[in-house]
Amino acid sequence: MLELYHNDMSTCAQKVRLTLAEKGLEWEGHHMNLRRGDTRTPEYIKMNPGAVVPTLVDNGTIICESTVIMEYLEDAYPEPSLRPKDPIEVARMRGWLKQLDEGLHAAVGVISNSVAFRYQTMEGRSEEEVIEHINLIPEQAKRDRIMDVTLKGVDSSYFKPAIKRWDKLFSDMEAALNENTWLTGEEYSLADIAYTPYLTRMDHVQFMDLFEQRPKILAWYERVKARPNYAGISDWINDKYIPLMAEQGKIVWPRAKEILAA
């Protein structure tokens, strides 16, 4: 039996739910409330040392890290295949996945937190309680980043590099989609799945002007949303998050635009 510790709006959990849906796999969910700190308990950290979702449990075996989970699902449940046959395309696919793990995911965390999620973290907590809550994050670098972004919002020094990094990624993505229908070639792959939640996040924070001059990305986004597996995102939308992300995102977008124009 497949069990997934996840969260409704988490981009990493969305990656895994999209993969499970594409493969038509049944799973049992354990929903974790991230603002409450459900992943920061000693019991959960034993299972997932980073104190994050998602965690997959397959017949009692624990698998952490969304990219690792996606590749595991591809190996353990190969049909339909989400890894291209051509080794060059597999290399490209892994290149896209690697970038998320090496900074892009953290950068989207900076954007989402500084724009919107910080308000949820601060709600009902004094400043000391906010600091105490963030201090439960096991990894030092992440703790420092989340602390700064939560306390300072878009004035955090992490905001500028984060938006610039995503802008660079979107230039690369537009170029790739100018060549092919999907990110790695003519086959829909784990790379397309992995980036779908991040496009959705840009949409939710109303940063869609990023794609004004990037029509291929917009067309790709329409294609991924039209696939049945998009239910892995749309069935789990938390209505409390959407207005907050939209309202705060609209306020912040001119600032992001200024950074990108400089």
Ligand X SMILES: N[C@@H](CCC(=O)N[C@@H](CS)C(=O)NCC(=O)O)C(=O)O
CB 146, min distance to ligand X, A? 7
Query: With contact defined as beta carbons under 8 Å apart, do 23 and 80 qualify?
Result: yes
**Amino acid identity, residue 95?**
G
Minimum CB distance to ligand X smaller for 11 or for 189 = 11
Minimal distance, residue 7 CB to ligand X, in Å: 6
Size of the site for ligand X (CB under 6 A): 13
Q: Smallest distance, Å, CB 123 to ligand X?
A: 14
The one among 18, 21, 22, 66 contacting ligand X by CB under 6 A:
66
Measured from the CB atom, the residue of 48 and 229 that comes closer to ligand X is 48
Per CB under 6 A, contacts with ligand X among 72-111 are 101, 105
Q: Name the minimum Å distance from CB 181 to ligand X.
A: 26
**Tokens read off for 91:** 């290399």
63 to 32, 47, 56, 185: CA distances (angstroms): 16, 9, 5, 28
Q: Which is nearer to ligand X, 131 or 219 (CB)?
A: 131
C-beta closer to ligand X: residue 68 or 175: 68
- Closest distance to ligand X from the beta carbon of 85 (Å): 26
Which residues in 5-64 contact ligand X (CB under 6 A)?
10-12, 34, 39, 52-54
Instruction: Check residue 114 for interaction with ligand X (CB under 6 A).
Output: no
Candidate residues 2, 23, 45, 65; the one interacting with ligand X per rule CB under 6 A: 65
Residue 257 CB, shortest distance to ligand X, in Å, is 25
Distances (CA, A) of 227 to 28, 50, 89, 185, 206: 22, 31, 21, 17, 22
Please check whether residue 14 is in contact with residue 231, taking contact to mean a CB–CB distance below 8 angstroms: no
Q: How far is the CB of 180 from ligand X (least distance, A)?
A: 25
Judged by CB under 6 A, the chain residues 158 through 177 that form the site for ligand X are: none
Looking at the Cβ atoms of 192 and 214, the one nearer to ligand X is 192
If one counts every other C-beta atom within 10 angstroms of the C-beta of residue 44, the result is 19
Which residues in this chain contact ligand X in the complex, by CB under 6 A? 10-12, 34, 39, 52-54, 65-67, 101, 105
